[in-house]
Chain A
Amino acid sequence: MRHPGDPAAPWRAAPVLGRLVACGRLRMAEAQAALAAVPAPGADPSGWQARSTWRLADAVAEQRRARAGAADAIVRALRPMLAARAPRAALFRAAMEADRRRALTRREVARMVRELVAAELAGRR
């Protein structure tokens, strides 16, 4: 049995795949298949597949929590700036800084800022 922290263990890819699943770039079944296809010479076949599955599930849940937290932080950070009609660049910078763990992709942050601006404009009209 490999140590859980072994850098060569097949489940070490789980956090990366979990991030891709959480942001919708990969389906869960695809991630599981990718994880199962990782060559694991020397690993105990009775355990490593189960470990890979729950490591992936944990990673997806962790990423989803981080993304929800980041979205919440961005909304909180931008609320006063939107009220003050801050410049576009300042909104982007504040949004990127609010997502300190980079849980969201740059494109997602940009889309979120755009949606918040649109909502702010709609609220004013």
Chain B
Amino acid sequence: MGVWEAWEAARSDPPALAAVPAPLPDPAGIPPREWLYGTRLVRRFVSVLAAPGGAGKSALALAQAVALATGRPILNERVHHAAPAWVLNLEDPLDELNRRLAACLRLHGLPDDAVRDRLFLHSGRQRRVCLAALDARGMVVHPDRDAVAAAARARQVGLIVVDPFVKSHALDENSNPHMDAAATAWAEVAEAAGAAVLLVHHVRKLGGAAVDVEAARGAKALTDAARAAAVLSAMAPEEAERLGVAPAERWRHVRLDDAKANMAPRAEAAQWFRLESIPLGNATALYPAGDTVAAVAAWTPPSPFADLSAADANRALDQIAAGPAPGVRFAATRQGGVAAERWAGTVLMRFGPTEAAATRILGAWLRNGLLEETDYRDPVHRKTRRGVRVVDARRPTVSAAEGARDGAGG
């Protein structure tokens, strides 16, 4: 018997459990983590993308796969190095996947050749993929684990998208041991194929509550097993108002928040995306309008400072510093029964920004120290109040061009 046959035989025996000393290698010699896509996807680890239905998680996962396959940061996330991607969509037919891919490529101006032989699509309608199930004795078995790993290895796939995770196993979603077994099976595929695995997962019904990783449907063992988890959620009405998005357009905007980041610091700010409707131009006599398919693009919330030049900002700050009356200061917020004319935002609104933008500008100025909120003695009402004062050293700089333009204009 050769060495490797003997090794395989030894592997099939229950291994002896031994406490092995820590190898303590030179830290400089330890291989770095093989990040593929931002800090969301890393080779040989499982990541989870959780979202409520209709938020655009399949479109986002497909766009991430396209970004990785092409090596282009189409969603403004860094692609560390390009790698082939395999999308296992286990609920939609292949035609639908083709439509979504075509919409994604069209939206980002990518030719078909950019993903040819680099992006692989699999529809669960053609062949089911089952990573974990129970056999007749009630034991967990892994029917397709080795086949998926071998197929991924054969194409040197760097990312396997599993959409949705729930259709990749036949175990009890509410059982922690079962979900741990299913997640572990995917982790074993990640290890064997040297690829990142992205499990797309639904969240439970929340009745309008905020979406976080705890809202992921079923047992918690799944999100516990993942090294990185992100939550995709639709824009809330108050966010739409604050960011100046029309109510009719709100559904198009979704935010991605880091929900769990074991291997990298969480991103403090959410990443925003916009669902664009892309006509495919596939009209027929029966369907003269053809299809319009959603695809994901990165979206940057408009800056509240867009409507406020540096010169206007300084004029507004002059008025804020002067106060609504001699000896009286403007308030930073409207909380606590502050009259509208005493709110500093009303000064800003005279120069163009909307009420929502004025609120965001005041918040930004308080954070960066341009405005300071302190107690002062109100000489009119003869009581101590909170008010803002302007820190002149932090005022915005007016460019020469802007100063000249303002001078000419007024």
Contact = CB atoms under 8 A, between A and B. Distances in A.
Interface residues of A, number: 21
Contacts of B3: 114, 117-118, 121
Nearest to A80: B20
Contact size class for B?
20 to 34
B10 A97 contact: no
A117 B10 CA distance: 11
A76 B349 CA distance: 66
Nearest to B13: A85
Interface string B369-402: 0000000000000000000000000000000000
Contacts of A83: 15-16, 18, 20
Contacts of A79: 20-21, 23
B192 interface: yes
Given A73-B29, A93-B194, A85 B10 contact: yes
A121 B7 contact: yes
Interface in A10-40: none
Nearest to B26: A73
B404 interface: no
Contacts of A124: 10, 16
A100 B31 contact: yes
A66 to B, nearest CB: 11
A50 interface: no
A80 B22 CA distance: 8
Contacts of B16: 83, 124
A98 B31 CA distance: 7
Nearest to B25: A76
Interface string A108-124: 00000010011001001
Interface of A: 73, 76-77, 79-80, 83-85, 87-90, 93, 97-98, 100, 114, 117-118, 121, 124
Interface of B: 3-4, 6-8, 10-11, 15-16, 18, 20-21, 23-26, 29, 31, 191-192, 194
